Amino acid sequence: MEEIEKKILDKIDNMKDEIVKFHQQIVQIPSENPPGKYKEVCKFTEKAFKELGLKTQVKRNNVVGEIGEGDDKSLILYGHLDTVEAFKGWSEDPFGGKIINGKIYGRGSSDDKSSVTAEIFATKALLEAGIKLNGKLILTAVIDEETGGLRGADLLLNKGLLRGDACLLGDAPCNYPFGYCGGTMYITFITYGKQAHGLGYPDLPAPYRSKSSGINAIEKMVKIINFLLKLKEEFLRKETKYAVPKGSTAKVSSVNLAQIDGGNKITTVPNKCLLHCSINTIPEQDIESIKTRILNYVEELKKQDPDLDIIVQIPISLEPQIIDENSDFAIAVKKSTEVVFNQEREFKLFMPSTDAHWFQERGIETILIGASQDDNNVHAEDEFVYIEDLINTTKIFALTALNYLK
């Protein structure tokens, strides 16, 4: 370990109580998505950025802070402010920020306010250590990640309010750097039918139906569901070659039939059915070819069934990404993790969808590492983060900025 690295790590260790207190405070500010009320947490974060002396701007409750000058390398540190709903069943106050046995409890304590806290105190440690960065360090605290990122990271990148050469994204597990990301597609099917009395023999051939018979929108959706389930079975036959964290089972592509809604009464033929799905792929499979297969299947169904009235919507379609392990950024991240964990940690595959894709699609090198563990109850009741993981993430953020921008 170099002397300057030790100095930064010591700074962060000495800040531990301050880091924990700040994290409790940001967890205590509700920012559930939905409903998407972010003004208070946005102001809290903006204030922290300004106290560091960052050049700060806010766009639709997304907070961006920048420090450093010149046209050399620029590094983005990423965290998101929005959380899923608190839901019921907590044994602790979901917005209490209570500390129990080395854990901070609360909605967003792990996913992903831990990253926001880490980037703030990583920057503070660098500044207090007197580090002069050769380039720009950009801090982000965005919204809308939990619903796709269109009003958060994507908006900032589209409007040119966020630019960088590399991005260290903290919305991920701890212990390993993640350089490989799976692909993601969100897809919605809507089938329309004809409402009628349930005794109208819907979807039966002549002579068992008449002009007044209904067309069952749910029954029309069944073929779509069966196709997706067969696709899911097919995915089981191809396992990724990329390493996954110990204990992870995310080695194949998958289809999640996430939400279905249709009909209004047991005696009535439903005239509409809606199905939301998410598809996640390993790096060896591309999203575009899967999308084409689905759309071609739907077109074939239309030819076979003149009564099929269907709409397919694909709001998000993101290809898998693979990092260049020999790039300056990858080397900087790997060196940082080796120092913090006192051993070499290889790059792993992370399958869940995150905002990483918005950066990667624009040519911004993106590596993920955060403060989450499998047992943190992310998106469930009693979410928490280990204080040790929060501190380690802060250290990795700081050392990566040092190594990449020195």
Topology of the domain covering 183-318: Alpha-Beta Plaits (3.30.70)
Beta bridge partners of 184: 280, 318
Mean pLDDT of 377-384: 97
CB atoms within 10 A of CB 395: 24
**What is the C-alpha to C-alpha distance for residues 366 and 327, in angstroms, rounded to an integer?**
11
> What confidence tens digit (pLDDT) does each residue in 305-351 have?
999 999 999 998 989 999 999 999 999 999 999 999 999 999 999 99
pTM here? 0.88
Confidence of residue 292 (pLDDT cuts 50, 70, 90): very high
Domain borders along the chain are 3-181+320-405, 183-318
Predicted confidence at residue 287, as pLDDT, reads 95
Question: 9-38: per-residue pLDDT in tens?
Answer: 999 999 999 999 999 999 999 999 999 999
Q: pLDDT band for 209, please (50, 70, 90 cuts).
A: confident
Query: For residue 141, which of 355, 396, 386, 351 has the smallest C-alpha distance?
Result: 355
pLDDT digits over 249-270, tens only? 889 999 999 999 999 999 999 9
Alpha-carbon gap, residue 22 to 17, rounded angstroms: 9
Please name the helix (run of DSSP H) or strand (run of DSSP E) that holds residue 190, with its range, or none: strand 183-192
Q: Please give the pLDDT value at position 199.
A: 83
**φ, ψ at 141 (rounded to 5°):** -135, 95
What is the predicted pLDDT for the residue at 158? Answer: 97
For residue 230, the one-letter residue type is K
| 3-state DSSP assignment of residue 342 | coil
3-181+320-405: CATH topology is Aminopeptidase (3.40.630)
361 three-class SS: coil
